[in-house]
Structure 1
């Protein structure tokens, strides 16, 4: 809530609120057509050059705004809008939106200075309709909404206030009152919607994260893998690394679950250090983890990644004043199909993991060339699962 109040929004919330601007496409087209119609009528009846220039500027800014809205919507539908893209889209939209509002306000003010009273009514309807649409359509981006309302409504209010007819002065007061009430309502709506959206995204994120390690869980792993398959990555190869810790159960049994949990969090931290770009690190449960390696060139690159994972996860962990060393086994598979299925790849990597564990137990100190590491690639020797600096726990010193 404090983040909302201070204007700082979580990325997913910000992207969704910016995306709400795309819903103004149809109202924007309608408003642009009405502005063109009113502008042509005013220019035809008055031959006023200032009104003609303002009309041309308003039509041009409307075309820019409509183009931005439709192109942005296409990017949104393609799932290609992240936080950085949303910032650019909002900035461009804000400029075009406020520019049109400035032109509209000046056009209406100029029309009300002309002697044709019938056009005054048309201009008043135009600015009131615009203000209502702006308050409704851009309320979730309040800076854009407030700025556009002020620059569109205040110029006509100023012109009306300087008229001698009390009816015009009353109209100015009414417009000012509607402006104040509309801005108050849109700010309240923004706070409510932003908080609701942030909570919804927060709950959705919790459902997709492993509560202990903060890594992706199985649900998020599946969703992100599916996105990889739809975002052009099928032209590149993807590898799955399936790994678990060797003899993790004795850690929980003898040192307690808090230490075991701390060890899992430390393992997760090391896995994060290995991912890059669109790679994914996930915890499936217990001491089982998965790393999705993207943009893979060949099997040797995957085997090298597996060796690095085994080597780095076997480095000592300093936890609760103890130094814990525990090995890890990694099995991997490389995607060679046009439309890979995550479950099938996980099964292949799990099969390779079981072979790798058996291989390490039979040859704990020698490099091998088993299926888990691909043909011709010899993994480095990995220390066995050992817990050191724990007197009386020598029975935990085991080979992998």
Structure 2
């Protein structure tokens, strides 16, 4: 196998890494512009010196392909601005269009160089082959992340010129053909090495980014995820934010020690995961504070009741049976706030009322009713040793 992970295999890299690869391909228009400018210049000179209509036609085709590719790159960049981000299937379509454009460019340059060799003008031939070699160097740099596409480009550049040179009977043309083939072989080896190194770097980057979003003790998401992911959820419609605070955690931590406290936090995290539905966010804010962001906001009060019942059930750690109470503040968008900041502020106020009521849950909407006592099911206090 030529590659550790053939990039044509859909499972070789994650969707996020794959989209980053495709974004990188569309990251610059300068190589395309330079290739078109060089082709236009050399094509004009060669046509002027030789009067060859084929060269003029190839020049026009090459410029047209470059213009189409520029529009394609701009269209992809505009697509990235509008959420949601492209999925893997859509990204694959963009990749196919990009590869089709770059192979077409490579083929035009390859045929252009071959035609220059046939015409026999030494300086024009050198310029034409130079454009091909320069484009090939760019392929090694840009398309290392898509090695099969890079191979297609290199073959498209080199094959026409190599065929023409080997058709000539003299040693000089044969030598030139061999040099072209050796250049392609060396370039492809560089693509192979660059591909393996680049994919490893991108994967590591993604892993570090993911680790930065995880609370190391509980394995839940950390507060940075709340800041990044809550606003998009709000844009989708109703969302309920449950802000939790363990009522007797400090007492348990002081009495049984930090290892037991850590174990309790992990069990709390596990129970919250069990309550959360697919697509919900379960976040440890720090200490004994947690947040559950619920997408099915119409079930907010029932979910709050489940949280109180589940988190308030006894825990067993190292032979000790420990009871923790929990206070929960619940805010529901859009009634309690249309922004992440407003929603969190409302849920915090509801949490404060719940703590005053000695546990249970409080709905933020009930705080807007004068004199209302919105505490939910109270949690029995105490720690059983």
Show the 5 A alignment for 1:1-400: 5-6=4-5, 8-38=12-42, 45-48=51-54, 52=57, 58-76=62-80, 81=85, 84=88, 86-114=91-119, 119-225=124-230, 228=231, 236=237, 239-248=240-249, 261-272=262-273, 274-277=276-279, 279-293=280-294, 302-311=300-309, 313=311, 328-334=326-332, 340=339, 342=341, 345-359=343-357, 361=359, 381=377, 384=380, 396=384
**8 A Cα contact 2:349 2:364, kept in partner:** no
User: CA offset at residue 129 of structure 1?
Assistant: 1.8
CA distance in 2, matches of 1:271, 1:97: 50
Aligned length, in residue pairs: 371
Which stretch of structure 1 is more off in the superposition, 304-313 or 145-154? 304-313
Q: CA deviation at 1:186?
A: 3.3
CA distance in structure 2 between the partners assigned to 1:138 and 1:318 by the alignment: 56
Moved more, 247-256 or 279-288: 247-256
Query: CA-to-partner distance for each residue in 1:91-140, whole Å, 9 max, x for gaps?
Result: 33223222332343234334433465554333212211211222222233
Cα distance in 1 for partners of 2:315, 2:112 equals 70
TM-score after normalising by structure 1: 0.72
Distance 1:35 1:262 in 2: 68
8 Å Cα contact 2:234-2:333 kept in structure 1: no
* CA distance in structure 1 between the partners assigned to 2:162 and 2:42 by the alignment: 19
Distance 2:124 2:105 in 1: 20
Cα displacement (A) at 1:283: 0.5
Contact 1:208 1:219 in 2 (8 A): yes
Deviation at 1:172, TM superposition (A): 1.8
**In 2, Cα distance between the equivalents of 1:39 and 1:270?**
71
CA contact (8 A) 2:99 2:149 kept: yes
Cα drift, residue 28 of structure 1 = 0.8
In the alignment, the residues of structure 2 paired with residue 148 and residue 259 of structure 1 have an alpha-carbon distance, to the nearest angstrom, of 61
Residue 175 of structure 1: CA displacement?
1.9
Specify every segment of 5 or more residues in structure 1 that has no aligned partner in the other structure, as ranges.
387-394
* RMSD between superposed Cα atoms in Å: 4.3
Cα shift at 1:173: 2.0
Cα distance change, pair 152–369 in 1 and its aligned pair in 2 (3 A): closer
Distance 1:377 1:29 in 2: 69
- Once residues 99 and 315 of structure 1 are traced to their aligned partners in structure 2, the CA distance between those partners, rounded to angstroms, is 67
Q: Is the 8 A contact 2:117 2:164 kept in 1?
A: yes
Distance 2:82 2:33 in 1: 23
SS of match in other structure, 1:204: helix
